Amino acid sequence: MSKDKPTRPKARLPRGFRDRSGAELLAERRMLDTIRRVYESYGFSALETPAFEYTDALGKFLPDVDRPNAGVFSLRDDDEQWMSLRYDLTAPLARYVAENFQTLPKPFRRYQVGPVWRNEKPGPGRYREFTQFDADTVGSNSPAADAELLMMVCDALEALGLRKGEYVVKINSRKFLDGVLEIAGISPEDGIGRGIVLRALDKLDRLGVEGVRDLLGSGRKDESGDFTRGAELRPNQIDMIMSFTISNGLLVSEIGHQGAEEIENILSLVRRYSDRVRFDPSIIRGLDYYTGPVFEAQLLFPVKNDAGEDVVFGSVAGGGRYDDLVARFTGQQVPATGISIGVSRLMSALMSRGRLGGEETPLVFVLTMDDAAASFAMARELREAGFRAETYVGTKRVPDQLKYADKRGAAIAVIEGSDERAKGEVTLKDLALGAEMAKTIESRAHWVKDRPAQITVPRADLVRQVRLMLERAP
């Protein structure tokens, strides 16, 4: 009688997600620490909200609402309540402010960093999970609140190593666009049509003028054959909207004039501080909850993509004013403005320019010979002296341990067998130096015989000798 073979799952990543290595995570941590220091220097405090929110609390603001679950990943809990993974950090902030409005200082200023998830079509460099770093001011309708965010993001980008001419912060107003849509005959109450227009215009830098015109009209088919429904505007409506987007802007209707005044007030404050901020009518922002000024930080230098081609990276941060978002919960308008840095995009660009190293501190590798406790004691001693030290916990064969140390990229191997211990000594093998010298030595036998990268030192001198060896490492 045959038995069925056990069914094994296939080891594979979900589409649109990725694994990340230690070097990338280290680079990200350094970047986040730098941004955090800048934001805290402005007086912003940290906040953390959960990954899940009730679905109705998130609203219908995603730039890709035609996807399943309206662009979010959703599930039902044991109370039959729909919950969704957050798609940004702003909607959870609005819920938090509404829930704690009476006890919060006004204005309330917070920063938050964390992953967000979007159930959208993945593509090159476009993932369904990514990290954002937000800063928001809630409870102030002053243009100074918007101006401060722009100054702060400039400081953060420059603290990360960007220089003048390598980035720009562009600002526009949704009220400009509302004025154009009003003249074009698109009512603010037409939420679906207005949303399609906003999402189409937000893709101008990626799709170009003709691609956006298609999305404003009957629709567009992309390279994969997928079709995106368009806004079904008339040709004269499309011409009017595009003329606004690619020109210096049109001051139309009363709301358009309000937008112009807001932008000028913000720029008058920022100009005294930085020349990196300028008006650009092509800045739209795809999310539908913005009500006034919107802004984007864009990189101006080329970056190599996965195919080795030079591409302009574009936006690495964006945000704007969203005065109606808290009102969804309370019925009372609460002014708010915020900006979000796309951590993964910015980190990729910085690393490509050598501005953000992901190298870990040198690893000292302690072999385990005949006394594991002694090996652990040496590793602890090295850690207490400020080194990064690892004790081997696998097989005790020395060749296997040294091969492992090479794969780990260790700088030094520490060896203490019974003979060394009896003499009060320890052997240090300079793996970093050995790797460099091995590249130029033709005879492996000669390299093994001379062993120029290995020394034996008194056990009591371990820490000092490791430090000296690391200081002269290549």
Q: pLDDT tens digit string along 316-345?
A: 999 999 999 999 999 999 999 999 999 988
Nearest-CA neighbor of 174 among 184, 188, 190, 185?
188
Q: pLDDT tens digit string along 7-49?
A: 889 999 999 999 988 888 988 999 999 999 999 999 999 999 9
Higher confidence at residue 456 or residue 67?
456
Residues 119 and 162: beta-carbon distance below 8 Å: no
Give pLDDT, residue 451: 45
Give pLDDT, residue 307: 62
Determine which of 90-94, 360-364, 451-455 has the lowest per-residue pLDDT on average: 451-455
The pTM for the full model equals 0.76
State yes or no: pLDDT of 358 exceeds 60. no
Give pLDDT, residue 122: 81
22-352 and 363-471 in the same fold: no
Higher confidence at residue 105 or residue 441?
105
Give percent of the chain with pLDDT exceeding 70: 82
pLDDT bucket at 439, cuts 50 / 70 / 90: low
Give pLDDT, residue 256: 64
Give pLDDT, residue 442: 53
Cis peptide upstream of residue 107 (ω within 30 degrees of 0): yes
Determine which of 197-211, 214-228, 320-334, 460-474 has the lowest per-residue pLDDT on average: 197-211
Determine which of 59-73, 170-184, 201-215 has the lowest per-residue pLDDT on average: 59-73
Tokens found for residue 169: 């912060």
State yes or no: pLDDT of 143 exceeds 80. yes
Q: What's the CATH class of domain 363-471?
A: alpha beta
Q: What is the mean pLDDT of the chain?
A: 84
CA–CA distance, 335 with 326 (Å, rounded to integer): 8
CA–CA distance, 443 with 87 (Å, rounded to integer): 58
CA–CA distance, 216 with 204 (Å, rounded to integer): 11
CA–CA distance, 310 with 298 (Å, rounded to integer): 16
Give percent of the chain with pLDDT exceeding 90: 49
Name the CATH superfamily housing domain 22-352: Bira Bifunctional Protein; Domain 2 (3.30.930.10)
Tokens found for residue 265: 């007030």
Burial 429-450 (b: 16+ CB within 10 A, else e): bbbbbbeeeeeeeeeeeebeee
State yes or no: pLDDT of 445 exceeds 70. no
> What SS3 state is found at 441?
coil
Q: pLDDT tens digit string along 246-273?
A: 555 444 556 667 777 888 899 999 988 8
Give pLDDT, residue 383: 95
Give pLDDT, residue 38: 97
Backbone angles phi, psi at 75, to 5 degrees: -155, 165
Burial of 115 (0-12, 13-18, 19+ CB in 10 A): middle
Higher confidence at residue 326 or residue 120?
326
CA–CA distance, 130 with 114 (Å, rounded to integer): 8
Choose the most confident range, by mean pLDDT, from 180-184, 299-303, 456-460: 456-460
Domain ranges of the chain: 22-352, 363-471
Q: pLDDT tens digit string along 45-102?
A: 999 999 999 988 887 665 444 444 568 899 999 999 999 999 999 999 999 999 999 9
Give residue for tokens 């999970």. Answer: 129
Determine which of 154-163, 172-181, 303-312 has the lowest per-residue pLDDT on average: 303-312
CA–CA distance, 157 with 305 (Å, rounded to integer): 21
